[in-house]
Amino acid sequence: MVLLASCAVIRPSAPEINLASIKVTDLTLTNAELIAGLKVYNPNDATITIKEVDYELAIGGIRVSRGESIKRIRIGAFETGQVDMRLSSNYLDIIRVLNKVQNGSDMDFVIEGKVKYEVFGFSNLTYRFKKKGTLPVSSPIQN
């Protein structure tokens, strides 16, 4: 009975997700390859395992990429980890985003999706997230 009562009290908290970085890693004539780093904070007093992240990323109102991670990561209690996700985007969409960048002004972004995770012995928990913010854009050095 005590064990049953203690299980009713345990309420796992959803991880906190924030976009940490976006880096262009490769450009071809048709595609751009990027790495998006998601910072994941575990607000629980037990280790969580991030099993999968499904996401969609838009920059400047243009959907740049969508996909899912397949690498599992473990994040300790009250710790922060990072999930790096390889993104592939149509080159024309990247050009549209770059054309919106004027004088090094920042770009708005929206990343949304869901995280599948396990904590406290509960598996297949799902947390939906939607984060908005701005990405600092630096101007290329001109001679």
Contact 67, 55 (CB under 8 A): yes
Query: What residues form DSSP beta bridges with 74?
Result: 49
Q: Which of 52, 35, 60 is nearest to 132 (CA)?
A: 60
Please give the average pLDDT of every successive group of 10 residues along the chain, which has 143 residues.
50 87 80 84 95 88 82 94 84 76 75 91 91 71 42
Residues 115 and 142: their CA atoms lie apart, in Å, by: 42
- State the pLDDT at residue 103: 57
- State the pLDDT at residue 46: 94
Note the helical H segments in the chain: 2-9, 91-100
- State the pLDDT at residue 142: 43
Residues 15 and 115: their CA atoms lie apart, in Å, by: 8
| Measured CA distances, 83 to 4, 30, 53, 101, 104 (Å) | 34, 26, 9, 27, 27
- State the pLDDT at residue 109: 87
- State the pLDDT at residue 9: 56
In which element (H, E) is residue 66 found? strand 62-68
- State the pLDDT at residue 6: 47
Q: Is 90 exposed, middle or buried (0-12, 13-18, 19+ CB in 10 A)?
A: middle
